[in-house]
Structure 1
Amino acid sequence: MSINAATAGAPKTLEDLKSLLQNDTKVKVAGAHLSRPYGISVDGVLRGKFMSKGKFLSAASSDGFGFCSVVFGWDIHDAAYTKELLISNRANGYRDILAQIDLSTFRRIPWENNVPFVLVSFLDPETKEPICACPRGLLKKTADKIASASWQCYAGVEYEYFQFKETPQSLVDKKFTSLQPLTPGMHGYSVLRTQLNNDYFTGLYDESTKFEIDIEGHHTETGPGVYETALAYTSALRMADNALLFKYLAKSVGMKHGITPSFMAKPWGDLPGCSGHIHVSLRNPDGKNIFGVSESELKSGGRSDAPYDELKYFSEAGEHFLAGVLDGLPDIMPCLVPTINGYKRLVGGEAFWAPNSVTYGYDSRAASIRLLSPPSVPPAATRLEIRVPGADMNPFFALSAIFALGLRGMEKKLSLPLPPMSQLKPEDRTNGTVKMLPVSLEAATERMMRPESIAREVLGNDFVDHFGGTRRHEVQLWNQAVTSWEVERYLELI
């Protein structure tokens, strides 16, 4: 499998593309020859437009086409950032940047008359290099660096998400309050609850298959109207594409059923939040998982030099990768938890399984990093599960940060900074042995933007300054907001 893991029908040449579009009867029925390119903003929102067939073919045969850079100067609600940033600003006239078509992402949107669809990456029009905050560009850069060491990045993503019996209009009419969940009650792994709204539930799976997003598992999760969908393991870039496109698919299919799925991390204060767990590993050119031990070590009961029993079926390379992630985890938190709301999910403890400290453990859902290796999984499936991200993460930034930290750990041959959770004492959370993660987006952003931040080392100053600036904007809006909680708390009695 290639690093990019092209879709099954992706054209290899321009002639292949012309042939694919020539026989596109569905598009012809729509009255025009259309293709739909999409790019990704820093908030993980798809931005794009329809293009004529001629314009699209011209762009595909060149460096790309001009795309307004304001998509990197807007927040999630199309408001300009309170402090102008490097990519798009008044000084450069909100210039066009270059949108480069990635034909390896070619697929058709089954619920939109089978219209052709591709993703783009954003380049600087002068240097033709990826702009610092392009999500796909950042992940490509990280994956290419790891590929230069003859390894390939592989990943999987699990999403939990609430469904509401609401439409975009009803959300506004209700002022986003008193929303109706799709179903009542707590029904994790229910084989009965899926019979309610079955066309929608099965439609998510079926449309994903048609849209070339492979799913490993799809079930109800605990909470009113909550589903969980595990996307099939694949190369990291394809995984990030699939993860983002699954959100687009879910919202599109939901609209047809009068349902709004939400990937907000913590929509209810008294219920578990929505996670976006990430599984990662590295493979060599032969496809062998380098996190696993050798055949001889496997037969003899694991590594004799493993520092802890929990790591006896992890290779030394996997151990260094883990150490790198643990070492830099507090500094890259905005890449994993990018919203104000997301930090309310990280409550710690075992009740909601949302860890808020730098911890790891064998097959432990209470740890920030869950180690999966024999005997709980086959040797080829040895991997790390990063349990900190919420469903609101940008998968490109999250995967870029995780793999960049892991590579740093391997290059520096870092040692594990603490024992696994099974060997920690209660007082280790207060005596400094266990580091706590930032508790708010403001604290996380300021930590990431420090001059000595590991995020700057592995992701670059330009990215940290731009993305950090967008997070400061989010914090500023939050700090200026007067919430209903404040009014109810203080209006009458103060």
Structure 2
Amino acid sequence: MQFETTDQLIQFLDDEGVRFHKVGVFDIDGVFRGKYLDRDKFESSLRKGFGFCDVVLGWDSHDQLYDNATVSGWHTGYRDAPAKLDLGTVRKLPFEDDTVLVLGHFAGDYEGVCPRRLLHRCVDKAAAMGFGVRAALEYEFFVFQESPESVRSKGFRGLTPLTPGMFGYSMLRSGVHAELYHELLETMDAFECPIEGLHTETGPGVIEAALHHDEARAAADKAALFKTYAKVLCQRMGLMATFMAKWSNEYPGQSGHIHISLEDPKTGDNLFTGADDGTPELMRWFIGGQVTLMPQLLAMVCSTVNAYRRLVPGMWAPTHANWGVENRTTAIRAIPGGKGSRSEYRVAPADANPYLALGAALASGLWGIENHIEPPAAIEGSAYDDPGADAVPLPGTLSEATRLFKGSKVARDLFGDAFVDHFAATREWEDRQARKHVSDWDLARYFEII
């Protein structure tokens, strides 16, 4: 639902008898943080904005305080950061009768590090260049017959998947568990996050959902909400979903592929449309920018330590910055011809923050257009066997990716020093937490033998 004025929304609340109001923002990791507000506070927040404790930008996904950030910390007193609500994001919440949800974003001095506002600035740049942007995200996620309590009691080992075995596109599995599939489809449709395609993927209990394409800002909102409320739905049904990039050594990782096209804002025509057997100049430049900047911006897309466990040969994820036409072994898959022409940013994992990943994919493509960047030769056949003579290997760790990102002049030009410095600090923290941890692999590898 979209409302042009606060008064229109207030009238809607009265007409519908809405009694409960939720507001939320997405943090640097893409985690949804929010609260209930009473009617008076909600109306005031709509009209004037509201304060949201800046600790949301000063802690990690486990609420551990960063010791290396300047945006938020003990030195700020964890004051309230100004936040604004977006009237274009009003939704009635599934599972909660008489409840509306409105998304917000950080403003004022904090706007430069807000993930949602970063994407908005990228879309504004596209508009200034004469382009509209459409996008769609698709997610793979594993579902388990577990609960938040049971996975912890088991140490996240020996979990029971929803279904056994490797059975992609299975009509048997989706038929047996039709209630879950129907609930996902109906819930997300009612939540204005419609699913275009839903099917089993290869692996025990893994599902893939492709969301409908939309204007880029709306597409990111829908992707971020989908990840949160797919988990809510599963837990309400006695199940548990994970969007972790790679949860098991035995199975491929989970992707969060990003599809982007540019359009004529007046006619809505797809500007990537060309001959069925080729890509038009604008699309080539866009892909050229994506390929060229991918190593420098990868930390924004693969932003967890775990995400790099997915980027290995033969696991349906890329290992080099390259591209190909209808090639699912490359980092960028060009899908040319017709109204559906688009770039598919296949390096993205399911655990990515949708705002940052889409922002990186879009900003790099626009940079390619601005600078007329021709991509290297398209890869034919397996990019694992031949990644391309000029293909740059992708960073193999979050630490390496963060170092490239922090030192990238282009990243600073595209996103600003405030964001680059803050985000790099959060990723350095994330890497440091991982390096302090003694894993099962460490123990099995070194405990007795060394």
AA matched with 1:199: E
Aligned to 1:88: 72
C-alpha separation in 2, matches of 1:73 and 1:357: 33
Taking a change above 3 Å as real, the CA distance of residues 256 and 98 of structure 1, as seen in their structure-2 partners, is same
Alpha-carbon contact 2:65-2:73 (below 8 Å) kept: no
Instruction: Please report how far the alpha carbon of residue 317 of structure 1 lies from its aligned counterpart in structure 2 after TM superposition.
Output: 1.4
Aligned to 1:123: 107
C-alpha separation in 2, matches of 1:74 and 1:196: 41
C-alpha separation in 1, matches of 2:99 and 2:209: 25
Listed as ranges, the matches of 1:203-242 within 5 Å are 203-242=183-222
Instruction: Please report how far the alpha carbon of residue 44 of structure 1 lies from its aligned counterpart in structure 2 after TM superposition.
Output: 0.4
Match of 1:251 among 231, 247, 254: 231
Match of 1:415 among 368, 374, 396: 374
AA matched with 2:257: H
CA RMSD of aligned residues (A): 1.8
1:445 partnered with 2:429: no
Match of 1:372 among 332, 335, 339: 335
1:342 partnered with 2:307: yes
Alpha-carbon contact 2:411-2:420 (below 8 Å) kept: yes
Taking a change above 3 Å as real, the CA distance of residues 427 and 11 of structure 1, as seen in their structure-2 partners, is closer
Instruction: Please report how far the alpha carbon of residue 399 of structure 1 lies from its aligned counterpart in structure 2 after TM superposition.
Output: 0.9
Aligned to 1:263: 243
1:391 partnered with 2:372: no
Alpha-carbon contact 1:401-1:459 (below 8 Å) kept: no
Instruction: Please report how far the alpha carbon of residue 197 of structure 1 lies from its aligned counterpart in structure 2 after TM superposition.
Output: 3.0
C-alpha separation in 1, matches of 2:384 and 2:369: 30
1:354 partnered with 2:314: no
Taking a change above 3 Å as real, the CA distance of residues 250 and 428 of structure 1, as seen in their structure-2 partners, is closer
C-alpha distance after superposition, 1:407-465 (max 9, x if no partner): 1111111222x2111299999659x6221100111111111111x44322222221111
Taking a change above 3 Å as real, the CA distance of residues 463 and 425 of structure 1, as seen in their structure-2 partners, is closer
Taking a change above 3 Å as real, the CA distance of residues 427 and 186 of structure 1, as seen in their structure-2 partners, is closer
Listed as ranges, the matches of 1:60-459 within 5 Å are 60-62=46-48, 64-83=49-68, 85-124=69-108, 131-285=111-265, 286-293=267-274, 298=275, 312=278, 314-348=279-313, 351-374=314-337, 379-416=338-375, 418-422=376-380, 433-450=390-407, 452-459=408-415
Aligned to 1:306: none
C-alpha separation in 2, matches of 1:423 and 1:179: 37
AA matched with 1:48: G
Q: Percent identity?
A: 38
Aligned to 1:4: none
Alpha-carbon contact 1:164-1:182 (below 8 Å) kept: yes
Q: Which runs of 5+ in 1 are unaligned?
A: 1-8, 28-32, 303-309
C-alpha distance after superposition, 1:188-218 (max 9, x if no partner): 0001101333222221111000101111100
C-alpha separation in 2, matches of 1:89 and 1:433: 43
Moved over 4 A (4+): 423-430
SS in 2 for 1:249: helix
TM-score by length of structure 1 reads 0.88
AA matched with 2:368: G
AA matched with 2:90: F
Alpha-carbon contact 2:67-2:73 (below 8 Å) kept: no
Alpha-carbon contact 2:231-2:241 (below 8 Å) kept: yes
C-alpha distance after superposition, 1:134-153 (max 9, x if no partner): 11100111101111122111
Instruction: Please report how far the alpha carbon of residue 180 of structure 1 lies from its aligned counterpart in structure 2 after TM superposition.
Output: 0.9
AA matched with 1:99: A
C-alpha separation in 2, matches of 1:485 and 1:196: 37
Taking a change above 3 Å as real, the CA distance of residues 382 and 92 of structure 1, as seen in their structure-2 partners, is same
Alpha-carbon contact 1:428-1:434 (below 8 Å) kept: no
Instruction: Please report how far the alpha carbon of residue 178 of structure 1 lies from its aligned counterpart in structure 2 after TM superposition.
Output: 1.1
Aligned to 1:305: none
Alpha-carbon contact 2:188-2:226 (below 8 Å) kept: yes
1:461 partnered with 2:380: no
C-alpha separation in 1, matches of 2:350 and 2:193: 17
C-alpha separation in 2, matches of 1:426 and 1:11: 49
Taking a change above 3 Å as real, the CA distance of residues 86 and 52 of structure 1, as seen in their structure-2 partners, is same
Q: Which runs of 5+ in 2 are unaligned?
A: none
Task: Compare 419-428 and 382-391 and name the one that shifted more.
Answer: 419-428
Alpha-carbon contact 2:112-2:419 (below 8 Å) kept: yes
C-alpha separation in 2, matches of 1:236 and 1:352: 28
Alpha-carbon contact 1:447-1:453 (below 8 Å) kept: no
SS in 1 for 2:208: strand
AA matched with 2:413: E
Instruction: Please report how far the alpha carbon of residue 91 of structure 1 lies from its aligned counterpart in structure 2 after TM superposition.
Output: 2.0
SS in 2 for 1:422: coil
Alpha-carbon contact 2:329-2:382 (below 8 Å) kept: no
Alpha-carbon contact 1:153-1:283 (below 8 Å) kept: yes
Choose 1 or 2 for highest CA Rg: 1
1:14 partnered with 2:30: no
